Amino acid sequence: MPLLFLTFLLVPLLEIYLLIEIGSLIGAVWTVTAVVGTAALGAALVRRQGLAALARFRSATQAGELPAVTIIEGLALLVAGALLLTPGFFTDLVGFLLLTPPLRQFLVRRWLVGRVVTPADGTPSGRAPGVLDGESRRIDD
């Protein structure tokens, strides 16, 4: 919870700082043009990659497969789109990073393996370290 609070506090402050600094370097008109331009470019890229993800989802479901990775990638694209439409340079950077397919696939697969995927023995992989399953029986009876 403190991480979420710090994120909502620090990201807008960072965005304001970057807008002021970049605006003082290149001017207000060019700064606004850059922010609007990255939003437009980002929206076009998100649309294109989102349609490709939708096509992968459809083909996987038609083949009878569970498209878990494609669904999580779609959610990552949704987050990327929201970040790119948010005015600012830092959120644009993070949004464009999420639009990079190799990085997005790495993050998605790492998140899935760490939280969702279960090993062949059926034990959840998200278990706390040092926790063991087992059975016990009294031997003094």
**Residue 30 has what pLDDT?**
96
Residues 6+ apart with CB under 8 A from 119: 125
d(CA 122, CA 125): 9
Amino acid at 30: W
Quote the DSSP letter at residue 25: H
d(CA 12, CA 96): 18
Hunting for tokens 């439409």 — which residue is that? Answer: 85
Amino acid at 53: A
**Residue 26 has what pLDDT?**
95
**Residue 92 has what pLDDT?**
94
Residues 6+ apart with CB under 8 A from 18: 88, 89, 90
d(CA 38, CA 123): 44
**Residue 73 has what pLDDT?**
86
Hunting for tokens 């459809």 — which residue is that? Answer: 58
19 close to 31: Cβ distance less than 8 angstroms: yes
Read off φ and ψ for residue 130, nearest 5 degrees: 85, 0
- Domain limits, the chain: 11-115
Mean pLDDT by runs of 10 across the 141 residues of the chain is 86 95 95 94 92 91 85 89 92 92 84 63 54 72 61
**Residue 71 has what pLDDT?**
86
